[in-house]
Structure 1
Amino acid sequence: MRKIIMMLAMLLAHTVYGQNTLPQIALPLHSTAHFISPQPVKYVDISSKDIIGDLPVPNILRLKFRDTVSSFKDAVVTITGEDFIAQYRIVAGTDESPAMIEIGPENCRPLDITSPGLTQDQLRKICLGLITSSEKHPVKKVSDLGMTAQVNRLYTLGDYMFIDLGFRNRTRIKYDIAGIRFSIDDKKVTKASNVQSIEIKPLYRLMSTPSFATRYRNILVFRKMTFPDNKVLNIELSEQPVSGRVITIPVSYKKLLQADIVPVE
């Protein structure tokens, strides 16, 4: 996918560079300009070595001139998000030139790659809608050492799987989360068998909560997963520092197949 984005950016730059069709941005001579994107920035191309840039946070591109620049005419910067591509013509400005530039829809072109998925903003909106649902009648529930872990609901939407998790701490000791690990493991493990564990990473998580005193709930999003009936999806909550309060919820493939469809408004 990255190669496709690069080729599209180069083609677009070749088509319009040198023409007056690109929005022009005056880059301050002795300070930094920040491009604010409505989505996390996935790819950046700067046509001139006289300009350097970085991503201090996922949705901000920071640009400035190199200290060694003696003369500069212009350049093109290409910025892509999850579903858009934008280009700007960069010219030398003054110290009074604007330091913040918002990437608006008027300067964006849709980025249509063969199988477009949901953007981070779209996933967030869906998760916020799902988390308002009731936690009653969980799909799976496990209790141990004063902790209760449960899969509240399972949802599916196209190639996405949404897992609604809930945890309850019935002790008086705050729980500091080391991490939530998801892996596909064999249901039955014997001493003679070779244990195969496949860890899977979420595409998106609604919240990043470092600790909780009594209750914690989150929704995590994965690509559609399939595995044979002799394996199980294990969801493991672990505590930091090293602690015995580790709790694992096994979810069978049958449960995943019974996932609800995300309600569409």
Structure 2
Amino acid sequence: MLACFATLSLFAQQPETFRSQLPQILLEKEVSLHILSPEPISYVDISSSQVMGDLPQENVLRLKWKPDSLAEESSDSEGSLGVLTVVGESFMAQYELSFSDRAGSSFIPASYSISPEEIKPLVGKASIPTSELRKHVLAMLSSRKHRPLRKIKAHGVAMQLNAVYTVGDLVLLDITATNSTNLSYDIDQMRMKIEDRKITKATNVQAMEVEPIWQLYGHGALKRSFRNIYVLKKMTFPANKVLHIQLSEKQLSGRTLDLKVKYKDILDADTF
């Protein structure tokens, strides 16, 4: 059975939802019901031990009602099987599960699709599903390369910002790193932060780390060329600051690259 514990702080501050207001889903004994989600499912809670669930596909939840011995002996012809909670990448949906012997099999669904009217948005999640985001990212990779917006090269290793795109409240950075040496470059991390454009020795540096909320590929060894898309939440910063992108090597090395992206590059971003 899929079961987890949720915290209310993850969800938007909306009026309470009572069980009497939840959409009802009827289950038939020993018959599977498939629930289709518009996004990959990341969390499921089934409040009844009589209902089993699993995820045969990332956006398909399969439920089956298996009455225990006490339920089998009961003369109840209808009743509740608890609350079902389904959480996707950007939403939560809840349903009242029930059974009824009075309803014929022809009135009990074999599949159920989560509709937009039944969902609550989550706070702090990407504004679009990963499937849609991936579609935009792949379109960026297949687009014809133009002159890079920014580039840096040192010790035979180079990094360049190919393009900046926006979709919704997200910023997508298309970055390529190349290695023209015969010595492999094992990427430690791609670090991003907003800091002062010009830093003097007497300056008290104040930098704000920027963590990508999603990226297309993980980091590995840079043998010849590596291209990746990094997704950031929408950001604003004054003209006297820059987005500092730093590529570093795992072992002790002087081959660290520092790319400075101006706010104008973000403002001039293409859009989908």
* TM-score normalized with structure 2 length: 0.70
1:197 aligned to 185, 199, 207, which one?
A: 207
What per-residue deviation string (whole Å, max 9, x for no partner) do you get for residues 89-145 of structure 1? 389xxxxxxxxxxxx762454535499921111111101111112333100010011
Q: Distance in 1 between matches of 2:131 and 2:186?
A: 28
Cα distance change, pair 107–26 in 1 and its aligned pair in 2 (3 A): farther
**Unaligned stretches of 5+ in structure 1?**
28-33, 64-68, 92-103
* Alpha-carbon contact 1:25-1:88 (below 8 Å) kept: no
SS in 1 for 2:138: helix
* Larger of the two Rg values belongs to structure: 2
1:131 aligns with: 141
Aligned length: 238
Asked if 1:75 is matched to 2:64, the reply is no
Cα distance change, pair 13–26 in 1 and its aligned pair in 2 (3 A): farther
- 1:170, CA displacement in angstroms? 0.7
Cα distance change, pair 62–134 in 1 and its aligned pair in 2 (3 A): same
1:212 aligns with: 222
2:27 aligns with: 24
Q: How does 1:49-60 map to 2 (within 5 A)?
A: none
* Alpha-carbon contact 2:12-2:122 (below 8 Å) kept: no
Q: Distance in 1 between matches of 2:59 and 2:222?
A: 28
Structure 1 counterpart of 2:82, which letter?
A
- 1:243, CA displacement in angstroms? 2.7
2:270 aligns with: 260
Cα distance change, pair 156–52 in 1 and its aligned pair in 2 (3 A): same
Asked if 1:89 is matched to 2:100, the reply is no
What per-residue deviation string (whole Å, max 9, x for no partner) do you get for residues 155-175 of structure 1? 223322111101101111222
What per-residue deviation string (whole Å, max 9, x for no partner) do you get for residues 155-203 of structure 1? 2233221111011011112222211111001112222221111011122
Structure 2 counterpart of 1:85, which letter?
A
**Unaligned stretches of 5+ in structure 2?**
1-8, 72-79, 100-110
- Percent identical: 34
1:180 aligns with: 190
- 1:253, CA displacement in angstroms? 1.1
1:3 aligned to 3, 8, 11, which one?
A: 11
Structure 2 counterpart of 1:75, which letter?
G
1:119 aligns with: 129
Q: Distance in 1 between matches of 2:196 and 2:51?
A: 52
* Alpha-carbon contact 2:165-2:173 (below 8 Å) kept: yes
